[in-house]
Structure 1
């Protein structure tokens, strides 16, 4: 590999996009899930003093070109389009697996990655998989699999796509995915999965400003759960969704009562095992819903206690779950006039989420920045410039990811 030629290509691609060397280093660190690269490293590559051999795959992903085109720099031939960061998820082959098993295995891979890197990176890859693999299997009579199981698997993956779209700030797409998932689950005949998707639809309805609709959707789910053997986790989740909606409406009494009912439900004996298509809802999940409910109701003491509980329960690899807990904790601390401590919590959240592509996290960070800006504290005054710089950098990276996803989708539409 000709290091000087590769360096010239890197410089050309970077300047073509209007990025600084520092920005390119940040994008590469995000793609590689490591904070080790600096502006000086990029400078050495571009001057031909060092080869970016071990960064070629990430350079290709960031610039949206093929690795071989970078490795063979200096030879004729235009760069080719790649498919982006989401394709780093390993998609199992169908060999030896029934269609529903293959979809389930793929869904687990996406779900594990989503916890750490967020929906912004993975959503396009999930949609592509749904379009190119899952859609074909729904009508494959020779798949060697129970046809209804394929519909259940497709419903579960489509519901996950809805959550990723929501995490990526695409609420219209999220609503469409969740509605399709509900229809697929009905055909699949899985009562638990149908109730689970109703909980997701309830969450989405509350998020877009329709709390009354959210309460009704969660009640529909509760009715489904009540129609069969008792499933504690599913019942608790639906109760928590109703609590969130009542909190959104400022109704403290029903919200608090529903949270208590959810806690009781979670501790009850199960009469039926949780469906393999349904996400777990545990003590940490309930604490997350409770923290946000109490924040909405203005009970900052209870919100703080719940947020701290999440951080005790959740392992370090649950990046996004911990991030939301840290942001809720920081908001509660600010409301309690403990802005200096809030800065420390935000700083921890920034450090932990450098590789996380989540519109919701960026949005909440922006809201915290506004809250901190009104605080009279030397600690806050010292912290804000660094916070604002980090937030601007992340917003720029997220906007770039969104533009890249749109361009890749447009390119595929013309192929």
Structure 2
């Protein structure tokens, strides 16, 4: 682990250097199996399997963090909950699996980051299965499954964040979430996400960023699947998201400079399925992307140098099947390469962008809807895009 917050704060006064090196050679497994009948209160279950994890913070100083994490085994997490009869409390079930994880925060400080994450051939998998064909979930349910090969999360408050982040993975990444029930007179959702390389940088309150990012995905496939099923459901949703490379950067109060290089050769698949005989509201939504970059600044200056290459296929399918009900929403979005850059919405911002996108993989989005009886409304959409780029500076009224 990186230094604890208090220790890091003291050392950071002198411009400290934190060196983190982690190597995980074996497999990491976590699993839970529950069989619950007629529960009178909530059912809450969390399961997590993580290869390498490091976190730290700096206060009122400057620090350089050099981190090298390597995951060579599998990380597999499973949750299996059988619910018989009547469950009167909310059901919350979350399963997470990860290869490498790094989180660093800076407060009134200067943070220089040199982070490398590598996940070799293996499996990163999260599975959550809840319910039974006769289960009655009276207070609803929130079911989640998340599998991420490499993660870097950075937060800055009145701070300047700079440096490089390099992520690469040849692992298979899979997530699966499912609800099976007879009756759900409340909101119930299944959210499943599978991401190979994820970067999130958020800085606010007069902060700034200058980061170089490289992300590589070489594994055979990435898959996220969500399935929500009930005989009678009031508000039922299945949502799935699969992404090879994802980087989201946001800042307030200073400049943002970003150079990003994302490359994917993995097959990406996202699938969402919702079924109900009787329903009030039903949703099935899936999104798949090979490379995604978002850079936003709630201030004047943004500079982006973006390169994205995708040779892997992207396949997205959303399906709803029901008989009698009210409102149905089905959506499927698939994209090879996507970049978004934006500057200040309330001032005369400046945005400079260089963009190169190459996609040679097939991109497919399919939405299937079947209503066997009667209902009130059906809203569907399917969008497939090879390369998408959006850069804008908006002002009040525009």
Quickly name the TM-score band, shorter chain normalised.
under 0.3
Report the structure, 1 or 2, having the larger helix content: 1
Question: Structure 1 length normalisation: TM-score?
Answer: 0.23
Task: Please identify which structure carries the higher strand content.
Answer: 2
| Bigger-Rg structure (1/2) | 1
Normalising by structure 2, we get a TM-score of: 0.24
